[in-house]
Amino acid sequence: MQNVNNKKQINNAKLISSFKNIRKYELSNGATLLIEKNTNNNVVAGKIFIKGGSLIENKAGTADILVGTIKKGTENKTGKEIQDALDNIGSAITFSDANEYFEVSMKTTKNDFNEAFNLLKEIIETPVFAQK
């Protein structure tokens, strides 16, 4: 995992617009990134919206099942280990779905960002969905 604080990663993004302390970038994969800097505290919060949800599912209810089970475990951690790791650093990661998209939210502190982001990355990249 690369350090997400590496400034080279933002170099592949094209600044589209800015307003006050909000900047809008287009990433090399076509995704849009909005960044709002707030220096009032050390909280880092982020949301990812992914096209999907109940309107495009092939079988009714699969989007709900996905968001309800994705944090139940990964190839390396059980759901309890994931939740304990988040609790230990005072962070939260949530998943939800709507008609047209999935939403992934993360809230953590500046000091714990890399650990929380690595947990999020693991949840998204290596989820294990138990048969039961």
Strand segments, DSSP code E, in 20-122 are 22-26, 32-36, 43-51, 92-97, 101-109
Query: Rounded to an integer, what distance in angstroms lies between the CA atom of residue 87 and that of residue 83?
Result: 6
pLDDT digits (tens, 9 = 90+) for 47-98: 999 988 888 888 888 889 889 999 999 999 999 999 999 999 999 999 999 9
Residue 29 φ/ψ, nearest 5 degrees: -90, 5
pLDDT confidence band for 10 (50 / 70 / 90): low
**Average pLDDT, whole number, for the chain?**
88
Strand 32-36 and strand 22-26: the pairing is antiparallel
Tell me whether residue 43 is exposed, middle or buried, using C-beta atoms within 10 angstroms of its C-beta: 0 to 12, 13 to 18, 19 or more: exposed
pLDDT digits (tens, 9 = 90+) for 91-119: 999 999 999 999 999 999 999 999 999 99
